[in-house]
Structure formats: C-alpha cells, structure tokens
Structure 1
Amino acid sequence: MSQLIAIFTAIFIAELGDKTQLATLLFAADRSHHPVAVFIAAAGALVTSTAVAVGLGALGARYLTFIPLKAIAGIGFIGIGIWMLTEYLRPAA
C-alpha cells in the first residue's frame, strides 16, 4: 500500500500545473465542451499514455539496468524540451 501512495503522490505532484492539466482546464472552460466529456476524454488519454509508459518501462527494464533507463529518459526529456523551445522561437511563416 505504501508503494501505491508514494507513486500516486509523486505523479500527482508532477502533474500539477503540467501542460496536460492546463489543456484540460482550457477544454473544460470552453463552453462548447461538456465537463463530463472533458473528464472522460482526459482521463482516458492519461490512462492510455500511462499504460504506454508502464509498458515501455517494463520492456526497457528487461534489457537495461535502472541507471541507463534514467539516463535515456532524461536525455529524451531534454530533447523534447529543446525541440519545443526551437519550435517556439521559430519565426511564424
């Protein structure tokens, strides 16, 4: 049970103010979207993306130790950040 609480707390805190939460907030604020539909769609998307992450993590753990997995995740995170920054700074066409 303590593992569940620790994982829930870590993910919950990491998601606070995340772009996913902000996007969900904006969809819910748009009066053309019903709040229940926003909740169901957002929850489904989060469950699906979490399932993919758990599957990839479990698969990666079969072939790599934890340290290389952390390094790969960190490099990927930095790479996505750099890509997003370059997209933001690119002049509009």
Structure 2
Amino acid sequence: MALAVLAMAAGDGPATFSVSSVRVGHNPVGVTVSPDGRLAYVPNSGPDWGSDSSLGSVSVIDTATNRTTGKPIPVGNTPSAVVVSRDGRV
C-alpha cells in the first residue's frame, strides 16, 4: 500500500502544495509523527507483502526523504495507533 503525503509551504507569495506517496505495509490505518518531526510511524493492520505471518506491523518513514527506513516492524494483530513520547521513544 502507499501512504499519500501532502506538504504545504507558505511565505510572502501564494501557498504551494506538493503531493508524494510512500510505500508502507498492508492496510495502513493512521500516522503518528515524532515530536521533532523527523520520523513518521504508520500502523499497518494487515500482514506485510510476502509474509507468512498474519500479524500487523509498523512502517517507519524518514520525513526528510519520504522513504521508509528498513522493513516494517512486526507487532501484534491489527495495530491501530502508535504513541511516541516527548523524548521520541516509541
């Protein structure tokens, strides 16, 4: 699956928008951004592509590059959210 990313910039002139997509795991159900804005976490409620497991996962996205960092992290069944503490710990 892919997650659509919308960026907006405003300055002295008219606002500009850009849209891109990031490939994440199966059935993404939300997104949580780290307090410093460097990482985004996407819970995937279905199994990863090519996986024999029925468990869900969490994809980690580097927001500077709009690319995932490594493979999705396996977690329990149907994750629905990710919580990040103020110090950036998941």
Q: TM-score, normalised by structure 2?
A: 0.28
Task: Give 1 or 2: higher helix fraction.
Answer: 1
Q: TM-score, normalised by structure 1?
A: 0.27
Task: Give 1 or 2: higher strand fraction.
Answer: 2
